[in-house]
Structure 1
Amino acid sequence: MMENLLLTDLVADLPQAVRLQRLVSSLRAHFRCGAVALLQLEEDQLRPVAIDGLVRDALGRRFAVGLHPRLAAILARRGVTCFHHDSVLPDPYDGLIDEHVGEPLPVHDCMGTSLHVEGQPWGVLTLDALTVGTFGDEAQADLRQLTVVVEAAIRTTRLEAEIRALRLTRGEAPLGDTARDDGEIIGQSEAISRLLHELTVVADSELPVLLLGETGVGKELFAHRLHRLSRRRAQPLIHVNCAALPESLAESELFGHAKGAFSGAVGERPGRFEAADGGTLFLDEVGELPLSIQAKLLRTLQNGEIQRLGSDRPRRVDVRIIAATNRSLRDHVRDGSFRADLYHRLSVYPIPIPPLRERGNDVLLLAGRMLELNRARLGLRSLRLSVAAEAALRRYPWPGNVRELEHVISRAALKTVSRGANRNDIVTLEAELLDLDGVEPAPPGAAAPPPSAEPGAFAPTAATLREAMDQCQRHCIEQALAARGGNWAQAARQLGVDASNLHKLARRLGIKHDDKHDNKHHDMPHRMAD
């Protein structure tokens, strides 16, 4: 029986994501329908946490309850709610059924139930079908009985998450996958999972953190997550864009000024450090700070005191620093535009943010989020990607990262509307609308690359798994060195690893500095943070 299968998974030692995915897959097979989705309520939005039968980008979408009357109706009542083929309410999954990818077919039948945990609304379970009459009285009665088991699975998953979170706060090793609340950080790749775990571990410390990454990777988003997970979460997070600070005003902005300190200073004014007292100060693009301000910032980090411009009285501040840069601060130290002592103060704990091209299919999840935002903004019934468009997104190297992806999706959606797309139709964005320079269209009839495929993937020839991993790592390092003209520091940044670790790994793999690549930085310290 279906109940026995679900109960077996309930008591099995499974990672959270695996348990919930098996749950929706089993339900889809049992009801023989097109798609099943489990969505968690977060404020006024429903976030998919497990899906089966919907397009991959659906996991990245957020469904605003107020904009989706079917979801609102399911959420508003206990028990099963059913919508038959003649319902006039728009279905949130129109055009998103995976087995008919490339065919923007409308959903015909839909049913769902609200889910409650510990007496509080948790979210909804939805089932959709393309065949009229799939969800009759028997199917609805069946779902009513299974709802209890589904809620038990969610309750078990929540309890396991709380246990893992408690172990993390005690400094113990996590069991299996790490529980987390990603907020608006969307992704399931190994690179982003490692990063989120590292942020969770370091957030509770008082160490300064230096976020490193290319333009557009979302450094501000990760800074907010660090603060939200820290013991300072109840205090303010103050954001300073150092690149936008004129040198003449930078000192006043950061440290404040006294009355009469300069022309126009008609009263005392606290600076950003005082505004962040007890909380966190986020210094974005810290590499742009003028040298004169760097010296004052260093003194504050050393003794915890600031001095307003034009005042002789020091003031104590308790501030945690999170800094971010898309530049190589080490190179700026070498050319004299950044103080070495300040660099070492800021980079106590450097964290590289992976570029989008290293995050695999996260690009589709992020695209799903942006598709839903643009669908709501433009008043469209449904907005989706064609198979060719999905393939183009996966092939493109994304030099502008997540920010560029956002612009690409928004521009394509606007184009299709401006060219006469009917807002009541299921609108599909084709690859040519994306305007991705340098991405060759797939040949006619060619299948989309598999989810894990990457451009220029390396196929190892070793017999054992360890040998294959060594071959693959050796290939990646040599490719990065070749692309960066033998510069090990730049190769490390491209690979998203600490340079000292790259040197150690290269030595273990038998890659010598003078084998194939001319290393022009023999004096590079073993520990690099940028």
Structure 2
Amino acid sequence: MMTNPLLLALVPLVADLSRELPDHERYRRLLYSLRQLLPCDAVALLKLEGDVLVPLSVEGLSPDTLGRRFKVEEHPRLKILLQNRGPTRFSADCGLPDPYDGLVEDHQGHLEVHDCLGCPLFLQDKPWGLITLDALDPSTFGRVDLDNLEAFASLAAATVMASERINQLARNFEDQRQLAEVYKRAAGGRGPRELIGQSPVHKRMQQEIHLVGNSALSVLITGETGVGKELVAEAIHLQSPRAHKPLISLNCAALPELLVESELFGHVKGAFSGAVNGRSGKFELAHGGTIFLDEVGELPLAVQAKLLRVLQSGQLQRVGSDQEHHVDVRIIAATNRDLADEVRAGRFRADLYHRLSVYPLRVPPLRERGRDVLLLAGFFLEENRARMGLRSLRINPEAQKLLVGYAWPGNVRELEHLISRATLKALSTHAERPRILTIDAQSLGMETQPVHVEPDLQRDTPRVKQGEGLKESVDAYQKALISEALNRHQGKWADVARELNIDRANLSRLAKRLGIR
């Protein structure tokens, strides 16, 4: 007895409609069923978010694909798929670039996609996204029944609708869309940036963001340099009732000490030399919204006292003025220092520390996030592909292993810069621009970059001298590291800051405290 292949593919999906499943498992089952119906080398489910297609689940594609964000206007095949109501198959000799060229997993090189098929998904008559199928053999879809794919797409749409309704029963989609638009306008048209990751520690952090975002608590974000503390602050603001109001940011380490107070609280005309006009400070600009104080541990003690007063009473005075101004501001602060240690050392006020750290939130370093590094690499690869005007940009398996196994002292920021450098290096090895540019292990250059090598603690860490405390020993070690780096870079402080993975302003303050400059 012949069994209908469409029926075999649809039955499991129908059964899943009534089951509570995690999104990733529901989507994995959907793509598995699709490959049973239409055998091919790769399939993907992409959701349309504004003018960008976001991969939710993939099979047969490089793992970094999940981190890529495909701008519809930059990918003509995806645009055509969205414009057509039913399935679309591109001919094998189609000259339009394929977004998956070089991304189909294989073991023989960076083969280009030769057969491409896709179908849009509609929810309530509005485009929701796409399912795509790709094959390396140009004859794979030659005899495909497109009606079967369209029927499958209808049930796939029901599957994603079930998932969204389960996850957002208490949410109103239109309210969320309007909120996003308001946020976009408040951010100057940039829109909220995305926190990318699927690791358990990343998901726990996102749960904390959602929890504290809905509260009015002050948040102290801690984490190493480059982990994305500013992005976390943006996400907290977006989750809060203040999301329709501005988020104002200030990097406390990037300002001269004499200007910090003016930046925070404003000043009146003639308050100091150069104050030819009065101006509002960051707190007044953030009225009704949120202020984000990055590197808050760098604030001078005198400014810390005035900041505490604003947090306690909501009252501030501009520099040079006796007039009180009331502000209603939620504060989110961030630091890569241990502020508790700073309090014990007398460099940070204990009362301010307790005011700021009502809800402490730690951002995990990249080395704790496992294969999230590949998703983030995919995001940066797609950015560089568009920036460099490349048709396709990929990273080969050997380079992927290096990324996953690296300790990432500079975290996500280091990864972003590494991908940009590697793209340029890989491009420089070609006399003519290739259709598919591959970043290999050599292009990453990770083994030949002493900047990213952790110090040998067994060899370099000085022993605690008799009668010398921990602080004195740490200061001596920091002084030695900075002095050695200065010698290597012939006194160039910018290069020293880059090698030691420290903000240049922070390095300047540390060097002054240690008596180096």
Question: CA separation in 2, counterparts of 1:192 and 1:102?
Answer: 34
Number of the residue aligned with 1:338:
348
1:51 counterpart = 2:61: no
How many Å apart are 1:5 and its aligned residue? 1.9
Q: Root-mean-square deviation (CA), in Å? A: 2.3
The residue correspondences of 1:439-478 to structure 2 (distance < 5 A) are: none
Q: Which moved more, 1:117-126 or 1:216-225?
A: 117-126
Give the TM-score normalised by structure 2. Answer: 0.80
CA shift in 2, pair 1:325/1:4, >3 Å:
same
| 1:74 aligned residue (68, 81, 84) | 81
Number of the residue aligned with 1:498:
none
1:278 counterpart = 2:285: no
Give the TM-score normalised by structure 1. Answer: 0.78
For residues 445-487 of structure 1, the C-alpha deviation after alignment (integer angstroms, 9 at most, x for no partner) is xxxxxxxxxxxxxxxxxxxxxxxxxxxxxxxxxxxxxx99999
Number of the residue aligned with 2:70:
63
| 1:310 aligned residue (312, 316, 320) | 320
Q: Which runs of structure 1 show a deviation greater than 4 angstroms over 4 or more consecutive aligned residues?
A: 483-488
How many Å apart are 1:11 and its aligned residue? 1.9
How many Å apart are 1:183 and its aligned residue? 5.1
| 1:406 aligned residue (402, 416, 419) | 416
Q: Secondary structure at the match of 1:270?
A: coil
How many Å apart are 1:95 and its aligned residue? 1.0
Question: CA separation in 2, counterparts of 1:247 and 1:115?
Answer: 55
Cα pair 1:235 1:278 within 8 Å, conserved: yes
For residues 189-214 of structure 1, the C-alpha deviation after alignment (integer angstroms, 9 at most, x for no partner) is 00000000011011011100000000
Amino acid in the other structure paired with 1:86: D
Amino acid in the other structure paired with 2:121: L
Amino acid in the other structure paired with 2:254: A
For residues 410-433 of structure 1, the C-alpha deviation after alignment (integer angstroms, 9 at most, x for no partner) is 101001112226434222111121
For residues 161-184 of structure 1, the C-alpha deviation after alignment (integer angstroms, 9 at most, x for no partner) is 212669xxxxxxxxxxxxxx9951
How many Å apart are 1:438 and its aligned residue? 7.5
Amino acid in the other structure paired with 1:133: S
Number of the residue aligned with 2:14:
7
How many Å apart are 1:137 and its aligned residue? 5.0
Q: Secondary structure at the match of 1:11?
A: coil
Number of the residue aligned with 1:96:
103
Question: CA separation in 2, counterparts of 1:35 and 1:245?
Answer: 51
Amino acid in the other structure paired with 1:83: F
Cα pair 2:193 2:231 within 8 Å, conserved: no
For residues 129-167 of structure 1, the C-alpha deviation after alignment (integer angstroms, 9 at most, x for no partner) is 11222223543221011111011011111111212669x
Cα pair 1:241 1:283 within 8 Å, conserved: yes
Question: CA separation in 2, counterparts of 1:192 and 1:435?
Answer: 28
The residue correspondences of 1:80-479 to structure 2 (distance < 5 A) are: 80-98=87-105, 100-101=106-107, 103-136=109-142, 138-163=144-169, 184-420=194-430, 422-437=432-447
Q: Which moved more, 1:273-282 or 1:62-71?
A: 62-71
Cα pair 2:65 2:375 within 8 Å, conserved: yes
Q: Secondary structure at the match of 1:393?
A: helix
Question: CA separation in 1, counterparts of 2:192 and 2:167?
Answer: 13
Question: CA separation in 1, counterparts of 2:61 and 2:240?
Answer: 36
Cα pair 1:421 1:427 within 8 Å, conserved: no
Amino acid in the other structure paired with 1:21: R
Number of the residue aligned with 2:453:
none
Question: CA separation in 1, counterparts of 2:163 and 2:49?
Answer: 17
Cα pair 1:69 1:89 within 8 Å, conserved: yes
Q: Secondary structure at the match of 1:437?
A: helix
Cα pair 2:192 2:234 within 8 Å, conserved: no
Q: Secondary structure at the match of 1:318?
A: coil
Question: CA separation in 2, counterparts of 1:182 and 1:25?
Answer: 33
Which ranges of structure 2 fall in alignment gaps of 5 or more residues? 1-7, 173-190, 451-460, 471-517
Cα pair 1:21 1:50 within 8 Å, conserved: yes
Cα pair 1:101 1:387 within 8 Å, conserved: no
What percent identity do the matched residue pairs reach?
54
How many Å apart are 1:6 and its aligned residue? 1.5
Cα pair 2:38 2:144 within 8 Å, conserved: no
| 1:32 aligned residue (20, 23, 39) | 39
